Amino acid sequence: MTAINAPQDKYNAVWIIFFILGLGTLLPWNFFMTATMYFTSRLKDPAIEGSVNLTVVEADTRNVLESKFNNVMTLCAMVPLLIFTCLNSFIHQRIPQNWRIAGSLSVILLVFLLTAVLVKVDMSPLPFFCLTMIKIICINSFGAVLQGSLFGLAGMLPASYTAPIMSGQGLAGTFAAFSMICALASGSALQDSAFGYFITACVVVFLAILSYFALPRMDFFQYYLESNGSRPAGRDEENKMDLLEKDSPAQKRPVVSLTEEETRSNISVFAIFKRIWVMALSVCFVFTITIGTFPAVTVDVRSTVADGGAWDKYFIPVSCFLLFNVMDWAGRSLTAVCMWPGKDSIILPVMVGLRVVFVPLFMLCNVQPRNYLPVPFAHDAWYILFMIFFSFSNGYLASLCMCFGPKKVAQHEAETAGAIMAFFLSLGLALGAALSFVFRIII
């Protein structure tokens, strides 16, 4: 919605706040995903001081936990994300916005504080593995509520205000990967580096909480919130009465009639889905392909350029995590200045479908260990080239779909449309997590 009498977003403050909140939605998952070196190291080394000889069962347990860590981590992240995003599509009108957003960020902050503390606590591999997965389930459950609520909130503002959320999410991965590379380069012990790594995440999440509480003070944000008949406090009945009492023919902004209010309270999720199904399925497919290969397949690619040395140490942190997140962020950010093709163009879903080609391309790189497929793309340059196009197309196409979805429905349906889009985004993540097991077995 753009109105002549709408206040200006001074200093782009609302845009920046949505960027920070977008950063906060994916930062937890990205910090856990890029810290796999730390987590797997805790599964390798004896956790109980003084233990020298391991039994065959203990050794097998360590090997299984280590080899399946990435796949199980992805599954434990994406399935709760899907379930709670689905729940958020139905409960977002019943639970106040403040509770959903600020509450979720607070829980995520507590989980990261616990993770930082546990860096200094010795644990045997199996309990450590189980506790890590519980934490991943927790942050992604609350992250789903946070993400769905945030996209729904942005759906009530002009279309360009979904872009900073997507851009912030892209920066989350870049920030996490860069932080991990700095930790490796510091030369500190792995546990010391991990402690500082997780404390950094706590600071960023705390900043997101402060940013959210500053949002209601912005006149630009309040104008669009009130135009949609919403209040941050979530008191729906009082809001309806206020709108009916305060709106009058003398006012310049459109009058919200009782009929319109009744329509808002009886929004059909299915009717909205019929109008946005192309965008919803497109964003689902984008993330199915992405999570199906990254990181479960891409993280196991080995360099063939050098045998040992620094490049082997930094190959995956740089070529996989950092490169993916930088290009993904670039793709997401491009939608702030360019939104081609249009929301009704057939070209967009076609471009989304063509991304399936990246699955065999990565599987034919030097993924190790492997049992069945050949390695025609053994050189590191092939892997890096595929990663550039793979990550950029993920960020750009996903951001376009998320921006266009809420704009294909009436304004009072935009929040629900945003929640539906977030659900299909999470569905794509969950499907990709399940497919990652299949893709890895095929190799």
- At 307 the pLDDT is 65
What is the C-alpha separation between 410 and 375, in angstroms, rounded? 51
- Above 70 in pLDDT, residue 236? no
Residue 89 lies in a domain: yes
Model confidence over 147-169: pLDDT tens digits? 878 877 887 788 778 778 877 88
Q: Are residues 224 and 239 in the same domain?
A: no
Threshold 0.85, pTM exceeds: no
Contact 284, 424 (CB under 8 A): yes
pLDDT score for 209: 94
Backbone torsions φ then ψ of 365, nearest 5 degrees? -80, -175
Does one domain contain both 309 and 213?
yes
Lowest mean pLDDT among 27-41, 268-282, 387-401: 27-41
pLDDT of residue 17: 92
Same domain, 348 and 329: yes
| 187 and 332 assigned to the same domain | yes
Q: Is the confidence at residue 260, as pLDDT, over 70?
A: no
Buried b (16+ CB within 10 A) or exposed e, 352-382: beebeebbebbbbbbbeebeeeebebbebeb
Do 155 and 214 lie in one domain? The reply is yes
78 residue type, one letter: M
C-beta separation of 253 from 224 below 8 A: no
Residues spanned by the domain of 119: 10-234+267-442
- Please indicate, yes or no, if residue 376 is contained in any of the structural domains: yes
Pick from 238, 275, 247: which is nearest to 406 by CA? 275
The pLDDT, as a whole number, for residue 38 is: 82
- Evaluate whether residue 350 is within a structural domain: yes
Average pLDDT over residues 336-340: 83
Q: Domain with 93 in it: what CATH number?
A: 1.20.1250.20
| Residue 113 is assigned to a structural domain of this protein | yes
Q: Do the domain assignments include residue 3?
A: no
The pLDDT mean for the chain works out to 80
Given a cut of 80, whether residue 341 has pLDDT beyond it is yes
Q: Do residues 320 and 222 share a domain?
A: yes
State pLDDT tens for residues 116-148.
898 888 888 888 889 999 999 998 899 888 887
Whether residue 174 is found in the same domain as residue 209? yes
Q: Tell me: the pLDDT tens digits for 347-396?
A: 999 999 999 999 999 999 999 888 889 999 999 999 999 999 999 999 99
Beta carbons within 8 Å of 333's beta carbon, 6+ residues apart: 163, 167, 170, 395
Confidence (pLDDT) at 59: 55
The verdict on 308 and 199 lying in the same domain is: yes
Whether residue 402 lies inside any domain: the answer is: yes
What average pLDDT score do residues 239-247 get?
41
Percent pLDDT > 90 in the chain is: 23
Task: Pick 258 or 90 by higher pLDDT.
Answer: 90
Mean pLDDT of all residues in 174-192: 76
Domain contains 4: no
- For the four alpha carbons of 142, 79, 163 and 420, in that order, the dihedral sign comes to negative
Averaged over 188-201, what is the pLDDT? 78
Confidence of residue 254 (pLDDT cuts 50, 70, 90): very low
Euclidean distance between CA atoms 82 and 431, whole angstroms? 9
The number of folded domains in the chain is 2
If asked whether residues 74 and 210 sit together in one domain, one would say yes
The residue behind tokens 């305060």 is 246
- Same domain for 321 and 356? yes
- Residue 31 pLDDT more than 90? no
* Residues near 61 by beta carbon (within 8 Å), at least 6 away in sequence: 125, 126
Q: Give the integer Cα–Cα distance in Å for 123 and 90.
A: 40
Are residue 132 and residue 104 in the same domain, yes or no? Answer: yes
244, 266, 288: which is the final residue of a domain? 266
Q: Residue 382: its pLDDT value, please?
A: 95
309 and 284: one domain?
yes
Look at residue 134 in the predicted model and tell me its pLDDT. Answer: 93
Q: Is residue 1 part of a domain?
A: no
CA nearest to 328, candidates 213, 175, 122: 175
**C-alpha–C-alpha distance, residues 429 and 406, integer Å:** 20
Structure tokens, 440: 């890895």
pLDDT of residue 391: 94
Q: Of 29 and 374, which is predicted with more confidence?
A: 374
Q: Which amino acid is at 114?
A: L
Write the pLDDT tens digit of every residue in 281-322: 999 999 999 999 988 899 889 888 866 677 787 888 889 888
Higher pLDDT, 239 or 59: 59
CA separation, residue 125 to residues 37, 39, 65 (Å): 14, 10, 8
